[in-house]
Amino acid sequence: MKPVESCFFYGPLIAVLAMCLPCQAEDQTPARKPAETVVWYDVSTLPLEGQGWTDTASRYDRLPARAEAMVRPAVWSLAQNSAGLSVRFITDATKIRARWTLRSDRIAMSHMAATGVSGVDLYVRSEGKWHFLAVGRPAQFPVNDVLLTQGLVPGEKEFRLSFPLYNGVEKVEIGIPPSATFRAPDPLPKQKPIVFYGTSITQGGCASRPGMSYPAILGRRMEMPVINLGFSGNGKSEPEMATLLAELDPALYVIDCLPNLETAQAVERLPGFIATLRAAHPQTPILLVENFIYTNSPFVAERDAKQRTSTEFLQEFHARLKADGDQHLFIVSAENLIGTDGEATVDALHPTDAGFLRMADVLEPAIRQALTH
C-alpha cells in the first residue's frame, strides 16, 4: 500500500508543477535580429594617395620593390608600414564600416596607442575643409571589422580614410548598406607633392591616430598631396635613400632627420644627401628642419649637447650653401617647434597630438614661403 500512497501524494504536486513550467514545445528565445547586410568595396579600386612609387612589392608599401636590395633591412621593414597612405571616396551612406587586414601582430606599442599604430581614421569634407569624423579601433590580428560611424545626415559626401602609421595593411575595405551609392571622387588637379623624409617623428610617433601625424595635418591644411617617408629610428640620411628620393619630382623636400643622427653623422652624411637631391632637382625647394628640442634637454646634459651641436651644424651648413648660391634652400628653427611648456610629448621626444599640431603651426608658414620663393 505504501507505493500506492506515495503515488497518490506526489501525483497532484507534479501536475501543479507541470502547469507552472513553460511548455517544452513553446520557443521562449527572443527573436534574433537578422544580420545586417553590408556591401564591401575594396579600396584598391580607388586612387591611392601618399605613395611615391607604384612599382611596389605590395600595394601599400612606401618604397619600390627594388629598394629591398638597396636599403638596410630595418628601413625596408618600415617601408611596409602604411604611414601617410589614404584613399578618398564619395558615398551617400548614413552608416560606414571599415575592414582592414594588418601585416603585423604588433597592434600597439608601450608609448603609442593602437589607434595610431594599427588603426584607421575617417575624415569628411565640409565647406571645403576636412573634418575628423571617426576612428577605427584595432582589436585583433589580422582582420578588424569596425563600425566607423552611423546616423550621418543624408546626402552624398566626400570622405578620406587614412591608413595605419606603424603597421602595414594587406587589404582595406569600406562597408556600406546595399542601398547606398559608392564611387571614386573626381581626380585631383595635377599637383606635385611635398615629400617628407625623417625619423619616427615624421612617420607619426606618437600620434593617437593616422590623421594626426604632422605631414597629414599639413596636407589637409594646404590641400596638397604629401608623401611620408619617415622611418622610425632609421632616418639616417644614407646615400641610398638620397638616390631614391631624387627619383621623385616633388614641389618641396622637407628633411627632418637630425634626431636620428649624431652630430658627426650629420656632418658626414648630410652634404652628400642634399647634393644628390640638388643634382637631380636644381630648382626644387629644400626645407631643412633643425634638431627637435627634447623637452628634457634643460636637465639632461647629453640630450642638450646633442640637440645643440647638430642644430649648430645644420645652421652653418645652410648658411654655407646659401653663400655658394643655392637660393632654393631653407631652414626652420626648432626653437618653438613644439612650444616651450614641455607638455607636448609622450616621452620627452615623441610628440603627442598637441605636439604635432604645434609642429604644423610652425612648419606651415615656412613651407608656404619655400613654395612661393
- CATH at residue 143: 2.60.120.260
Contact, 117 vs 164, CB < 8 A? yes
Share of the chain above pLDDT 90, in %: 88
Comparing 302 with 24, the larger pLDDT belongs to 302
Q: How many CB atoms lie within 10 A of CB 19?
A: 7
pLDDT of residue 188: 86
pLDDT of residue 322: 97
Same domain, 346 and 274: yes
| Residue position matching grid coordinates 631653407 | 330
Instruction: Indicate the helix (H) or strand (E) that contains 317.
Output: helix 301-323
Mean pLDDT of all residues in 223-236: 98
Same domain, 196 and 129: no
- Domains in the chain: how many in total? 2
Mean pLDDT of all residues in 240-258: 98
Boundary-marking domain end, from 187, 214, 238: 187
The parent domain of residue 227 ranges over 189-373
- Please state whether the predicted TM-score (pTM) of the whole model is above 0.85: yes
CA distances from 158 to 133, 172, 341, 357 (A): 12, 18, 38, 24
pLDDT of residue 16: 36
Contact, 245 vs 252, CB < 8 A? no
Tell me the pLDDT of the chain averaged across its residues: 92
88 contact partners, CB below 8 Å, separation of at least 6: 46, 47, 49, 158, 159, 160, 161, 184, 185
Same domain, 160 and 209: no
Contact, 159 vs 182, CB < 8 A? no
Q: How many CB atoms lie within 10 A of CB 138?
A: 23
